[in-house]
């Protein structure tokens, strides 16, 4: 069975600081990887996704993520965060051939202070 770990549960940063949120998954086969964001009181929105090809994926709002197969990781990064990036961030994985099920990590609460 696939699973996802997000080790940072709460992160507090000042505006303009750099961000890196960790995501590790456990599954031996080929996977699709996603990052979703949930702003306060809102639904989840897709930030970026990886299927194949270039392991460095660029998403919306200046976010990017790097797939490192040997480390089973898909960390999310942003060089300079803004107050409006305050939100909950979820990593998710789907195993190829695993059907339509996305398995989510437990989320990381990011708070950006002015």
Nearer to other proteins, 86 or 109 (CB): 109
Nearer to other proteins, 43 or 114 (CB): 43
- Site map 19..58 versus other proteins, x via CB under 8 A: -------------x-x-x-x---xxxxx--x-x-------
56/50 Cα distance (integer angstroms): 8
Residue 102 interacts with other proteins (CB under 8 A): yes or no: yes
Task: Name residues whose C-beta falls within 8 Å of residue 70's C-beta, 6 or more positions apart in sequence.
Answer: none
Residue 94 interacts with other proteins (CB under 8 A): yes or no: yes
Only one residue has tokens 């992160």, namely 11
Q: Pick from 52, 54, 75: which is nearest to 63 by CA? A: 75
For the residues of 38-76, what is the DSSP string, one character each? E-TTS-EEEEEEE-SS-SEEE-GGG-EEEEEGGGTEEEE
Piece of 10-18, 21-29, 67-75, 86-94 that binds other proteins (CB under 8 A) = 86-94
Binding positions for other proteins, rule: CB under 8 A: 32, 34, 36, 38, 42-46, 49, 51, 88, 90, 94, 99-104, 106-107, 109
């Amino acid at each position: 069975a696939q699973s996802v770990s997000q080790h940072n549960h709460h992160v507090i940063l000042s505006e303009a600081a750099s961000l890196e949120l960790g995501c590790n998954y456990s599954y031996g086969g080929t996977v699709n990887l996603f990052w979703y964001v949930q702003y306060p009181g809102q639904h989840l929105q897709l930030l970026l996704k990886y299927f194949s090809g270039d392991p460095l994926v660029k998403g919306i709002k200046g976010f990017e993520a790097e797939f490192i197969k040997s480390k089973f990781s898909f960390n999310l990064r942003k060089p300079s965060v803004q107050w409006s990036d305050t939100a909950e961030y979820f990593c998710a994985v789907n195993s190829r051939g695993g059907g339509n099920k996305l398995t989510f990590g437990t989320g990381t609460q990011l708070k950006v202070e002015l």
